[in-house]
Amino acid sequence: MANKKSKACSFCGYDENEVKMLVGGLNACICDRCIDQIHSLVEESMIAAGIEPERKKKKKKTVVAEKNNIPSPEKIKEFLDEYVIGQDAAKKYLSVAVYNHYKRIGYDNTGDVELEKSNILMIGDTGTGKTLLARSIAKLLDVPFAIVDATVFTEAGYVGEDVESILSRLLQAADYNVEEAERGIVFIDEIDKIARKGDNPSITRDVSGEGVQQGLLKLLEGSQVNVPPKGGRKHPEQQYSVVDTKNILFICGGAFNGMESIISRRINTQKLGYKALQDKNSIDKENILQYIAPSDLKSFGLIPEIIGRLPVLTYLLPLDRDALLKILTQPKNAIIKQYIRLFEIDGVTLEFEDGVMDYIVDKAMEFKLGARGLRSIFETLMVDAMFKAPSENKKTFSVTLQYAKEQIEKIPKRLSVA
């Protein structure tokens, strides 16, 4: 019986036994040598045409790729001042913690002293700037940033998302570059919603409370985690990416409603005496959150293990009237500047009469929604004007106090949480 005729490259004529690989097509074959030569010719023609080959493109370096590029804590706070009004104490804590974290990444941990990671916990009412602070820091450092809501997570095996999906979102923000994701920042919002429901034993498991806290421990501490980039439950067949969380900065935030009463009880349990009375009189009862301690978090329902992995504890005070007025006009992305730019796109100059800003702030204080309430009020105030502006030929639109009152009075009581 005659031997089967061997295949050969249609370009160079080499036999399949003389090359490393032979790729067969419909009526032709090509060997690995010819593939390399063709690839080189294509790259040379691209370079001659001024097009950079994909494999030769330089990898984008983040600001914190090198130790010398880390902004100082003062520079970080100056940047935050451009976007966030007030909250100086929180800015100072964040600036130092972020600087130390990325300085630690460039530090050689092989010596006797090993620098540990310091994750951050921010406590403050809704609309005080927790998310904006975290997002602004990620913008300054040019690192991947992901925001997740702790309320969607459940213990593994139950309906809901696994805690590993936090890293899936960070990978997506890093364009699936694991090395870049391992230098990123994750903001976990509503961390107070996973507090332990109570100390009393129950026949049912606390799968969305203490169970989630237990699942977060390995991420916050720093460990290698198998991460499904597209979500494990919906795509169980996909390959996993191994992500090391030791250099990922976790910033947690929550309103912690009721924390003031816990702090007040702790402060008032001091021993009796003249000095105790003096200390009690020196307490600022309007801003009780500034006296928060780790023991208060434990009383609220966070387990000691997760408190220990969030060593940087800071607070955000409620925004007063002056702060809300500054938020309207001063930051780089102030709400007024955003609406002025929206009207400029349509060729319309937007103007505000004296007293309009004060009226808007008074309404925001009435609705008790913080900075987010300003946005809701402005949407109601400007909706009619934005509806008509693109089709009208007016070059200027002036918002008078009377017009503002008429528009804002249309706001239904659903905005008020009082």
The CATH number of the domain holding residue 216 is: 3.40.50.300
Assess if residue 16 is contained within a domain. Answer: no
Report residue 95's pLDDT band, with 50, 70 and 90 as the boundaries.
Answer: very high
Question: How far, in Å, CA of 171 to CA of 243, rounded?
Answer: 9
> What is the domain-level CATH number for residue 345?
1.10.8.60
Same domain, 275 and 404: no
Question: How far, in Å, CA of 239 to CA of 283, rounded?
Answer: 56
Cross-strand bridge partners of residue 29: 24
Check residues 145 and 116 and name the one with the higher pLDDT. Answer: 145
Same domain, 116 and 236: yes
Report residue 57's pLDDT band, with 50, 70 and 90 as the boundaries.
Answer: very low
Q: What is the mean pLDDT of residues 58-66?
A: 47
Report phi then psi at 398, rounded to 5: -110, 130
Q: What is the percentage of the chain residues whose pLDDT exceeds 70?
A: 79
Assess if residue 17 is contained within a domain. Answer: no
Check residues 289 and 249 and name the one with the higher pLDDT. Answer: 249
End-of-domain residue from the set 266, 292, 316:
316
Assess if residue 7 is contained within a domain. Answer: no
Residue by residue, what is the 3-state secondary structure of 358-398?
HHHHHHHHHHCCHHHHHHHHHHHHHHHHHHHHHHCCCCEEE
Question: How far, in Å, CA of 170 to CA of 185, rounded?
Answer: 8
Checking if the pLDDT of 395 tops 80, the result is yes
Same domain, 281 and 347: no
Question: How far, in Å, CA of 41 to CA of 293, rounded?
Answer: 66
Report residue 406's pLDDT band, with 50, 70 and 90 as the boundaries.
Answer: confident
Q: What is the mean pLDDT of residues 389-410?
A: 85
Checking if the pLDDT of 10 tops 60, the result is yes
pLDDT at 414: 45
Same domain, 272 and 378: no
Assess if residue 2 is contained within a domain. Answer: no
Checking if the pLDDT of 82 tops 70, the result is yes
Report residue 65's pLDDT band, with 50, 70 and 90 as the boundaries.
Answer: very low
Assess if residue 3 is contained within a domain. Answer: no
The residues, any chain, with a CB within 8 Å of residue 122's CB and separated by 6 or more, are 90, 94, 130, 133, 134, 251, 252, 253, 254, 314, 315, 316
Same domain, 152 and 271: yes
Q: What is the pLDDT of residues 158-194, one digit of tens each?
A: 555 777 778 888 888 888 888 888 888 999 888 888 8
Assess if residue 11 is contained within a domain. Answer: no
Half-sphere exposure of 312 (CA within 13 A, CB side): 25
Checking if the pLDDT of 302 tops 60, the result is yes
Same domain, 312 and 325: no
pLDDT at 121: 92
Q: What is the mean pLDDT of residues 142-156?
A: 81
Assess if residue 381 is contained within a domain. Answer: yes
Same domain, 258 and 178: yes
End-of-domain residue from the set 288, 316, 344:
316
pLDDT at 418: 40
Assess if residue 92 is contained within a domain. Answer: yes
pLDDT at 234: 52
Q: How far is CA 35 from the centre of its chain?
A: 44
Checking if the pLDDT of 354 tops 70, the result is yes
Same domain, 235 and 93: yes
Q: How far is CA 210 from the centre of its chain?
A: 23
Contact between 178 and 227 (Cβ < 8 Å): no
Same domain, 274 and 335: no
What Cα–Cα distance (Å) separates residue 416 from each residue in 29, 366, 370, 379, 403?
73, 8, 11, 15, 21
For residue 26, give its domain range.
Answer: 22-56
Same domain, 158 and 271: yes
Checking if the pLDDT of 44 tops 60, the result is yes
Question: How far, in Å, CA of 141 to CA of 70, rounded?
Answer: 8
Report residue 41's pLDDT band, with 50, 70 and 90 as the boundaries.
Answer: confident
Same domain, 133 and 185: yes
- Residue (of 171, 195, 189, 315) closest to 244 by Cα position: 171
Same domain, 222 and 252: yes
End-of-domain residue from the set 316, 339, 366:
316
Structural domain total, the chain: 3
